[in-house]
Amino acid sequence: PPPPRDHCWHDGGQFCYSWEEDAELRLSLEPTATPGTECYRVHWTPLRPDVTLKDCFSMVNVSWYGGPSIHAQRWPLNSAESPAQPFVSGDLSTNPDGFGPVLERYFLGSTGVTVTVAPDEPLLLSLEGNRQFCLETPSGQAVPLQYLLCISSDVAAAHRHTGSSPARPERELPDTTLLGSPIWRYRGPEGSASRIKRGLRSLVRRLKRHRLQEGVLALGEQSTTILSAADQVSSKQTKRHEVALVEPLELSITLSPYASVASQLFLRSLRNSETAGYWLSRQPQPWGSSVPLLTTWKEQLCARLNVTSEAALSWYLARAQRLQQDLGAAYVVFEGAEGNSFLEQDVPPPSELEGDRYTTALAEALATLGNATVISAGARSSHLPLFIQMSPRLSDWSHAGLKGLIPSVLHYSLLGYNFFIPDAVGGSLDSDTPGDQELYVRWLQIVTFLPVMAFGTPPWICCDAWVLNLTRRCIQRHRDFVVPLLLKYSQEWQSLGYPIFRPAWWLSPMDPTAYTIEDEFLIGDEVLVAPITEKGQTWRDIYLPGEGHLWLDTNTARVFDGGTILRNYSASLAEVPVFVK
């Protein structure tokens, strides 16, 4: 384009430029309460409907964090590759090339720059590995591109400024009793209600036998559906029976906002003109009625709950509460909260469901059920009292498996989603190397220091007896050492917005070495966890952040200076390096 012309001036705080009849740019200085931080509002407006707006930010000599979760999560995002696609959450198990279930329009650069994109306009994002990432408007829609650009003294100061914004809603905690309760996912027979009940009793007996009789037994969506349909639970006697199935453990059930088109639930709703509006529908033609927008969920053709209908939400929430009470469940997991069903089928969404508004609206509704609720996605919902279920990971050593776990932890926590439930120890998606005991142990060692410990394959099935003993010790360490730390730093998150799980640069914001460390994490400011994530390795280099600090090695009781690197630190398969400041 030709050089821009300055054609407005408002008290020295706003500048306007236009490129002939293509686009207009307005820059305005925004007030900020944080000393040393400057913020600018950037507002591009297309002047013709065929103009596409695109702003790119260099990744050369700058590490970037935030934005979307991805299939093989990296920290920082620099090495990720993604063509321009809608900035919308998705299911990585069905679309590994898309964006994952947790994302925010917030990008943080290691130079102390933040980019926060306006929430309500359609947006495309491209990641061009190690070169740049770009924000773009969809072609032919003539929508603006708006973002807030802030500059602080360093990367940690930049994020502290963002987290302490007075405009943010009050942050609420989920049910913190879940933090000390390991989750055991039911993987037994599902053919009928009687088989599920027998499988649950068998799993409880085995957990008792192995002295692991505390925690939560988690039923998947199919088991939940079968049990609820078979029992039609209404009497108190039946409720006591269901609870007794898993005593002394607690029960969690799983639901989703989808209904199979062959289910009685969906078919009954179509017979009533009022309940037919409970499902997302295509925009009606002037001469006809609306048609349900059908999509695929777990390989079945389904309709999806209409979250813009108050009547539909009231019905859905009441049904969820009834099932929870009938089955005696302490927790309810809601899968399928991610994604935009309209965009997936190239159907223009209604304005109230642009982008990730479906996920946000569903999260807000589910939060009314109480703080014992788990959801599978997050978008503008980190302040709600919900646990977030992390995406399933491959059972291998790659970034789609174990190696991507810590980058995911740092990503979720940076975006404010501190109370997440990681995938089951060892990963839950099949790989080429099933039954890898070393992988199971290294995974277990990381999960010990996360909010909740979740298991799919029990240790007595996958591994030798010593791993079973190690599992008991890890659960106890999590309960005695980790949970008190999480409760302490959750107060800091509530008041200041600081992440609970922090990258090395949080204590060394000016050290370029810290910007790319993706295999360590801090809990608050006082505990550093540096596990082994390479197969066959029993040593590693460890970066100790915070020049001027001292770190106590919990394995050897030796003390080391911060701002240094420990070379070739030895850690056998039974050990995980942990340091206390």
Q: In the predicted model, is pLDDT for residue 122 greater than 80?
A: yes
State yes or no: pLDDT of 150 exceeds 50. Answer: yes
Closest by Cα among 80, 53, 19, 245 to 140: 53
Q: What confidence category does residue 398 fall into, taking pLDDT thresholds of 50, 70 and 90?
A: very high
Q: What is the average per-residue pLDDT within 393-397?
A: 95
Give residue 194's pLDDT: 92
Lowest mean per-residue pLDDT among 245-249, 383-387, 408-412: 245-249
| Buried-state track 398-422, b at ≥16 Cβ within 10 A, e below 16 | ebbbbbbbbbbbbbbbbbbbbbbbb
Q: How does residue 264 score in pLDDT terms, banded at 50, 70 and 90?
A: confident
What one-character-per-residue DSSP string does 43-92 give?
Answer: EEEESSTT---EEEEE-TT--EEEEE--SS--SSSTT--EEEEE-----T
Same fold, 5-163 and 501-580: yes
Q: How is residue 482 annotated by DSSP? A: I
Please give the span between the terminal C-alpha atoms of the chain, in angstroms, as a whole number.
54
Mean pLDDT taken over the chain: 92
Domains of the chain, by residue range, sit at: 5-163, 176-494, 501-580
- Measured distance CA(424)–CA(222) in Å, rounded: 18
Q: Which of the pair, 514 or 32, is modelled with greater confidence?
A: 514
Query: What contacts 359, CB < 8 A, 6 or more positions away?
Result: 89, 337, 338, 339, 377, 378, 379, 381
Give the span between the Cα atoms of 315 and 309, in whole angstroms. Answer: 10
Q: Is domain 5-163 in CATH 2.60.40.1760, yes or no? A: yes
- Residue-level pLDDT at 11: 59
Quick check: 335 and 221 in contact, CB under 8 A?
A: yes
Exposure b/e, 492-513, CB count within 10 A at least 16 = b: ebeeebbbbbbbbbbbbbebee
pLDDT given for residue 1 in this prediction: 47
Whole-angstrom distance, CA of residue 276 vs CA of residue 273: 5
Coil, strand, or helix at residue 198?
Answer: helix
User: Higher pLDDT residue, 273 or 1?
Assistant: 273
Rg over CA atoms, the chain: 25
Torsion sign, CA atoms 73, 79, 83, 84 = positive
Q: Are strands 300-304 and 258-260 parallel, antiparallel or unpaired?
A: antiparallel
Residue-wise pLDDT for 278-333, tens only, equals 999 987 655 556 788 999 999 999 999 999 999 999 999 999 999 999 999 999 99
pLDDT band at 140 (very low <50, low <70, confident <90, very high): confident
Task: Specify the CATH superfamily of domain 176-494.
Answer: Glycosidases (3.20.20.80)
Measured in whole angstroms, the distance separating CA 266 from the mean position of its chain's CA atoms is 30
CATH code reported for the domain at 501-580: 2.60.40.1180
Q: How many residues does the chain have?
A: 581
* pLDDT tens string 435-454: 799 999 999 999 999 999 99
Residues linked to residue 540 through DSSP beta bridges, in sequence order: 569
236 pLDDT band (50/70/90 cuts)? very low
CA atoms within 13 A on the CB side of 500: 24
- Position with higher pLDDT, 132 vs 248: 132
CA-to-CA distance for 221 and 257, rounded, in angstroms? 11
- pLDDT score at 235: 47
In one-letter notation, the amino acid at residue 283 is Q
For residue 154, is pLDDT > 50? yes
Residues contacting residue 427 through CB under 8 Å, at least 6 positions apart = 392, 393, 394, 395, 396, 401, 402, 439, 443
| Burial classification of residue 288, based on how many CB atoms lie within 10 Å of its CB (0-12 exposed, 13-18 middle, 19 or more buried) | exposed
The span from the CA of 1 to the CA of 24, in Å, is 12
Residue 488: enclosing H or E segment and its boundaries?
Answer: helix 483-496
